[in-house]
Amino acid sequence: MVEVRDLKDAAFERHAALVAERATAGSIVEAHGDPLPEHICVEAHPQIIDGPEFLRELQILDPADELTFLALECASLGAPWAHACIFETSAERAGATPPVPHVSIYRSLRAKIAVWHLDAHGVRAREKCIARTGGFLQLARADAAACV
């Protein structure tokens, strides 16, 4: 975990200007905060079934973060193809694609969140969580190393 954290920190530091540029350009918005595949009804006009995250500060974010989180959750459920679909649709609607370093950094943040969940008391299906966390850590290591 230390190696992944150090790589992630180095990648974030290297791309800090890009993060600041997106924030200045208005790319930080109030969003859902915790999109899960099971909470989205995919129709002609997708509907989010559950409410947004209960802490507003967790809802102020770069949409690339939220889209990356959703794509990772889809992949962990056996739909890795969802990443391309999610980002292509977003690019069509927003007129731009998030920078690759951002997506990589946000994927590494998912590993951090997974580790926090493992530390939480009362985690259901602990063995499943350990396996998912290991997968997220592998992705984070590869992404962060590519961005440094």
Tell me the pLDDT tens digit for each residue of 121-135.
Answer: 666 777 777 887 788
Q: For residue range 103-124, what is the model confidence (pLDDT) as tens digits?
A: 877 777 777 777 777 776 666 7
pLDDT tens string, the chain, 148 residues long: the values are 556 566 666 766 776 787 778 778 877 888 777 778 888 877 777 777 776 666 777 778 888 888 888 888 888 788 888 888 888 888 888 777 887 777 877 777 777 777 777 776 666 777 777 887 788 777 777 766 666 5
* 130: three-class secondary structure by DSSP: helix
| pLDDT, the chain, mean | 76
Q: For the whole model, what pTM was predicted?
A: 0.72
In the numeric block, which tokens belong to residue 30?
């109030």
Helix, strand, coil in percent for the chain, rounding step 5 = 65, 5, 30
Distance CA 136, CA 40 (A): 22
